Amino acid sequence: MAVGKITFTKTEREKLAEVLWLLNWISVVTGAILFGLGLFLKIEIQKWQEVMSEQGILYVPHMLITTGLAACGINYLGSKICLDCADTNKFLRWKLVMIPYIVCTFFFTACVLVGALMCYSIRSQLEEALYLGLRNTMRFYKDTDTPGRCYLKKTLDLLQIQFQCCGNTDYRDWFQIQWISSRYLDMTNSAVVDRVRSNVEGKYLMDSVPFSCCSTLSSRPCIQHNLSNPGAHAHYDERSQQLNLWRRGCQQALLDHYTGIMQSIGLTVLLIWLFELLVLTGVRYLQTAMENVIRLGDPESESEGWILENSLAETACYNFSIIKSLGKCYQVDDDPNINVPTAAADQEVPSAQVQVNVTS
């Protein structure tokens, strides 16, 4: 029994072809939107790629860019096919192309759905990449004279100022690393030497943060040194909300930023997928209805269209039998000597000479 069987008149087939022609052109526009969203996401990720530990998350924008380009090409071809399918004679030119076109459109539609799901499933991978990347960037913050790392200080300062964040998880992360270059330390100062020697790894650690952690919303001058010593500053309470440093970590700030973008893009791509699924269903109805008209031999008659000619179980069994039969075609006999000529077969066997006794 066919799935989703609908009967179409000639007028309804023509209207369906015209509507699908218009929807395919709209799909070309949605394909361009997919391409634009992927390009926008790639640019946003590359803005702060220095503070990410890996570039593996770029597969999401690459997926959207590729799918968008494929959407433009497939739907442009679909518009021409649907316009010609309104006429029976013109449909014959596309008859052999319809099934491959529908199969390609089906896989393309599946890719759109995968792209939407990727936007929602990448959060955990992005969170880990940001945590490891920010940790490494903070370690190299002081290496302003090291080739390949000299730009990291500027990048991290801009990040903390723009996103109003400090450190990886919070401002105390700066207490665990040496963020001042050793060339700016006065090693003739006994206090500096004692602080370096007191650390097992020989690092100069302080309870202070870079200037970019200072909050512009605070009414008092920035307190960025001796943060663990309440007596070092007048009317200063480390635990109060009046601390004039950004309270949020940069990992969470960037994660919220990218999560908002991903969710918006994911919702848009999901709506595009539903639209493409609608177009695919309409093309399938048009293809089956036109083929049934050709079988009937009367272009003016009614014809039936469907999504699947048989039930889901029957269709699955039929496709499985086709795959199984194709597998049998490539099976090779286990006998290694099959079809191998032997030496005896190459030699000519002389015909037997029979002696005949003639009697009188």
Give the DSSP per-residue string, 318-342: HHHHHHHHHHHHT---S-TTTTPPP
Q: What is the pLDDT of residue 212?
A: 92
Q: What is the pLDDT of residue 150?
A: 83
Q: What is the mean pLDDT of residues 77-99?
A: 82
Q: What is the mean pLDDT of residues 33-46?
A: 94
Using the predicted structure, report yes or no on whether residue 349 has a pLDDT greater than 50. Answer: no
How many whole angstroms separate alpha carbon 311 and alpha carbon 292?
18
**How much of the chain exceeds pLDDT 70, in percent?**
81
CA 178, 182, 188, 193 torsion: positive or negative?
Answer: positive
CB neighbours of residue 88 within 10 Å: 15
Alpha-carbon distance values, 347 to 100, 235, 337, 338, 350 (Å):
53, 113, 18, 19, 9
Q: What is the pLDDT of residue 154?
A: 93
Q: What is the pLDDT of residue 241?
A: 45
134-189 per-position pLDDT tens digit: 999 999 998 888 887 888 999 999 999 999 999 999 999 999 998 988 888 878 88
Q: What is the dihedral of CA 231, 234, 237, 242, to 10 degrees?
A: -160
Q: Is 214 helix (H, G, I), strand (E, B) or coil?
A: strand
Q: What is the mean pLDDT of residues 63-70?
A: 93
Q: Is 144 in contact with 106 (CB distance < 8 Å)?
A: no
* Higher-scoring residue by pLDDT: 167, 10: 167
**Average pLDDT, rounded, for the chain:** 82
How many whole angstroms separate alpha carbon 115 and alpha carbon 268?
11
305-336 per-position pLDDT tens digit: 877 776 666 666 755 665 666 656 555 555 45
Using the predicted structure, report yes or no on whether residue 194 has a pLDDT greater than 50. Answer: yes
* Higher-scoring residue by pLDDT: 80, 56: 80
Residues 6 or more apart in contact with residue 275 via CB below 8 angstroms: 23, 26, 27, 30
Using the predicted structure, report yes or no on whether residue 254 has a pLDDT greater than 80. Answer: yes
Q: What is the pLDDT of residue 112?
A: 92
Q: What is the pLDDT of residue 229?
A: 74
273-299 per-position pLDDT tens digit: 999 999 999 988 888 888 888 888 877
